[in-house]
Structure 1
Amino acid sequence: MSEGERAAELIELVEDNDLTGIRLWLAEHRPYEIADELSRMAGGDAIIPFRLLDKDRELEVFEELDPSQQQAILLGLRDSAFHEILEEMDPDDRARLIGEAPAKIATRALAGLSPAERKMTASLLGYPEDSVGRYMTPETVILHRDLLVGRALEVVRARGADAETIYTLPVVSDGRRLVGTVTLGDLVISDDDRLLKDIVDVFAPRVRASEPAEDAARLMQEANLVSLAVVDSEDRFLGLLTFDDALEVIEAADSEDMARQSGASPVGDHYVSVSVLRLVGARSVWLMLLIVAATLTVNVMQAFETTLEEVTALAMFVPMLIGTGGNVGAQSATAIVRALAVGEVRVRDLPRVIWKEARVGLLLGIMLAGLALAIGSLLVGFAVAAVVACSVIAVCTWAAIIGSAMPLFARKVGVDPAVVSSPMVATLVDATGLIIYFSIARLVLGI
């Protein structure tokens, strides 16, 4: 049975209020599959199958949902179930949920937590929204550097059940200052009478809690880490960023970048459950900005009206020219935004990037110019075709420079490079490309 058929089946069961059928469907599917299908439903419909989940699976499914869907589920639960779920959640997941929830839900959630869980949640909420501090887990097993390996294993056995992860273990000195980390595997295969400080990885990467979560997640990706130690400004250990949370951070960042590069604001929630009005709102602002920016092209056309009147054949190639320039600029911008995101390019690489992309644009322009010259000569004669060919070379080179430079300049001034989206680059290249085109026409044709 396909995914679509499974989803339709669950929706039909909910619509028919077939409680027995819903229970059977839930029993046959994994938590992440159930969460995906619940995300496709309106909050009011999703609460019905959620309430029918077994207690031992309820939390697993809940933690797989997006925060907005979690909020919708919570609103449909009685106080006892509401507080029970929040109490059992991992502190980092709970903090992100409460941080994104309306004040009414946040207040109700915090009020129902036990003192220990409330304290942990409040400490995580004290960090900036997109920082590592919001995503780290404080529930870890901390080992002192002077322990013997055998004693350290006893500590892991005693406290491991209450920790979110035990695969990476922080090793600290007095005052909780992080010395490094040791993996559970290294601990298990080491002799019991060895000192922990002899096997600890003192070069293990660490990040400050106030640093951006995306940067930390990318570091984990680059270093192939299962967990990453998080410390404060004085190197005191605070928690671990685990690989599952790092994956969520990267997925969210990539989705946001894709939305911005396409000229839209990120929606964040599951596409199927997002309303038409929200999608319109996410896209309309950018489209209005782009249509205003596109008036530059109209102004350029008006400024060169006399040139067009004298050689009307030039107008035939305007769509081709601005389309080609826009595509080259968009390709360049997309490549640089991605390179910035994964750390392959930095702001200080601006001169190297521009020099490389200028050569790429030039070579692309020469290749396309040959094609334009051949086609143009057949349609309008060699003179106008030569203008088009020269313009293609110049516009492609210029577009590649603009497309590569704008994301780097955006990063330099503290703006998300993805905001300098492909449509924005294409719109700018359209207007400036026409100026290049008509200027070359005047020069070559002597108009």
Structure 2
Amino acid sequence: MTPEQTRALDDRVLAIEQALSADDLPATSSLIADAPTHEVVAVIERLDARRRAVVYRLLPKQRALEVFEDLPASLQGDLVDALQDSEVAAVFADLDPDDRVRLLDELPASVAPRLLRGLPVDERTLTAAVLGYPQDSIGRRMSPEYVTLRPSVRVSDALARVRSRVRDAETVYTIPVIDDARTVVGVISLRDLLGGADDDTVGALMSEPHTATATDDAEDAARLCADLGVLALPVVDSEGRLVGILTIDDAVRILEQEESEDAARQGGAEPLRRPYLSTPILRIVRSRVVWLFVLAVGATLTVQVLSVFEDTLAQLTVLALFVPLLIGTGGNTGNQAATTVTRALALSEVRTRDVWRVLSREVRVGALLGLLLGVLGFAITSVVFDLQVGLVIGLTLLSICTVSASVGGVMPLLARAIRVDPAVFSNPFITTFVDATGLVIYFLIARAVLQI
């Protein structure tokens, strides 16, 4: 949003909060009546649970459904707790099957069966099919509502079929083409259908299909959809039969969630999975405290290293002045490498089998960075202190940068190899590891150069 739009939204939120505080429901209703759906969503995301439910109930039925569909699944779950059963049942029945599954994942186990029982039989069957796939698979995020065509169908008949299903399908802009065994043999766009002659067959106009398997990781399938630049990606079972479709908007949503998760873990916290202002304080604390304990325990390695080299520090106290500089530089170098490689993994630019190539590149990158920083550190330290201390700092920067970049580049690949989120192995753990090893390198070089 532009600064002007942000200010307008902030003013609207403030006005709504003031109206709610004064229990002025007519004023609140008028404030949200003319607001675009995305603004109403933004307003609801910034309110507490009670006010969120009040604002939602003031929306007309159709508008309420639009807003509900655009809310994060976590806030949808909060609203389910606040609304009456009849209100929840009406909204739940109007959701698409994949959106229902996202909501069910956020609800207590005791609530989900009750909501499912209230669905019509056909909708319950579609939803249950999506629920049957593993939690992080694309099958869990696909839509089972789609239009299919056969290769032998004429364009005129195909368009008639699309028109008859346009309100029920998730999308009609990309249509899978299947054979008698429901195997995907091609895809055809609505544009190609409209541009074809009435007597042309679908098979003559269709293109080669790209598909994802229902058990594939959701992020991998979403990345494939985005990389191909397609509006929808057919999802098939292990035998190649069509079971669903992934639309580009759902793919983008998956990628945004994964980016948020990686960013949080690289910063040493768990993802909130909901807007910051609507997240309870205790949940924010829980998302951070475990990591802080882990990193605090890891930091004891640094303390142990300092205690081992206590005599070296006592003989030349000037060495202590450079400890923050050196471990900070090492941590930053490792984090840069880890962030770059983690991103390359997410984009499928590197694989775990590329570990030696990545290590080779990062050794050279780290050595060049260390050489540049080392020469600068040597020059400045030699002038301020003496030549020997400058040599220690220069050699240490060269060594630490080389080691840090190498470790930072390889750790995400090792994490992927053992099926751990690479972001977990990134900044926090690398910083802790490099702090300890960097100090060992520093004091060993100091002992060798200064003969202490």
1:181 maps to 187
- Normalization by structure 2: what TM-score? 0.96
- State the Cα deviation string for residues 308-346 of structure 1 (Å, max 9, x = none): 222222111111111111111111111111111111121
Is the aligned partner of 1:370 residue 2:375? yes
Provide the alpha-carbon RMSD of the alignment.
Answer: 1.2
Is the aligned partner of 1:392 residue 2:403? no
Q: What is the identity, as a one-letter code, of the residue corresponding to 1:11? A: E
CA shift, 1:379, in A, is 2.6
1:269 maps to 274
- State the Cα deviation string for residues 54-77 of structure 1 (Å, max 9, x = none): 122111100111122112212232
CA shift, 1:441, in A, is 1.2
1:268-417 alignment to 2 at 5 Å? Answer: 268-417=273-422
Identity of paired residues, percent?
46
CA shift, 1:370, in A, is 1.7
2:446 maps to 441
CA shift, 1:21, in A, is 1.6
Alpha-carbon distance in structure 1 between the residues aligned to 2:256 and 2:18 = 31
Work out whether residues 9 and 43 of structure 2, in 8 Å CA contact, stay in contact via their aligned partners in 1: no
CA shift, 1:446, in A, is 2.0
Is the aligned partner of 1:153 residue 2:159? yes
Q: Which runs of 5+ in 1 are unaligned?
A: none
Specify whether residues 394 and 189 from structure 1 end up closer, same or farther in structure 2 by C-alpha distance, changes over 3 A only: same
Per mean C-alpha deviation after superposition, the further-off stretch among 71-80 and 321-330 is: 71-80
Equivalent position SS for 2:419: coil
1:10-409 alignment to 2 at 5 Å? Answer: 10-202=16-208, 204-409=209-414
Work out whether residues 328 and 400 of structure 1, in 8 Å CA contact, stay in contact via their aligned partners in 2: yes
- Normalization by structure 1: what TM-score? 0.97
- State the Cα deviation string for residues 194-230 of structure 1 (Å, max 9, x = none): 111111112x210111111110111111111111100
Alpha-carbon distance in structure 1 between the residues aligned to 2:291 and 2:354 = 29
CA shift, 1:42, in A, is 1.9
Alpha-carbon distance in structure 2 between the residues aligned to 1:329 and 1:218 = 26
Work out whether residues 378 and 394 of structure 2, in 8 Å CA contact, stay in contact via their aligned partners in 1: yes
Alpha-carbon distance in structure 1 between the residues aligned to 2:91 and 2:173 = 25
Alpha-carbon distance in structure 2 between the residues aligned to 1:424 and 1:254 = 19
- State the Cα deviation string for residues 250-296 of structure 1 (Å, max 9, x = none): 01000000000001111111100112211111111111111111111
Q: What is the identity, as a one-letter code, of the residue corresponding to 2:133? A: Y
- State the Cα deviation string for residues 75-109 of structure 1 (Å, max 9, x = none): 23233222111111011000111122101221221
Paired residues, number: 446
Alpha-carbon distance in structure 1 between the residues aligned to 2:151 and 2:124 = 30
Work out whether residues 44 and 72 of structure 1, in 8 Å CA contact, stay in contact via their aligned partners in 2: no
Q: What is the identity, as a one-letter code, of the residue corresponding to 1:163? A: A
Is the aligned partner of 1:423 residue 2:428? yes
Equivalent position SS for 1:137: coil
Alpha-carbon distance in structure 1 between the residues aligned to 2:280 and 2:16 = 20
Alpha-carbon distance in structure 2 between the residues aligned to 1:239 and 1:364 = 49
Work out whether residues 263 and 421 of structure 1, in 8 Å CA contact, stay in contact via their aligned partners in 2: no
Q: What is the identity, as a one-letter code, of the residue corresponding to 2:321? A: M
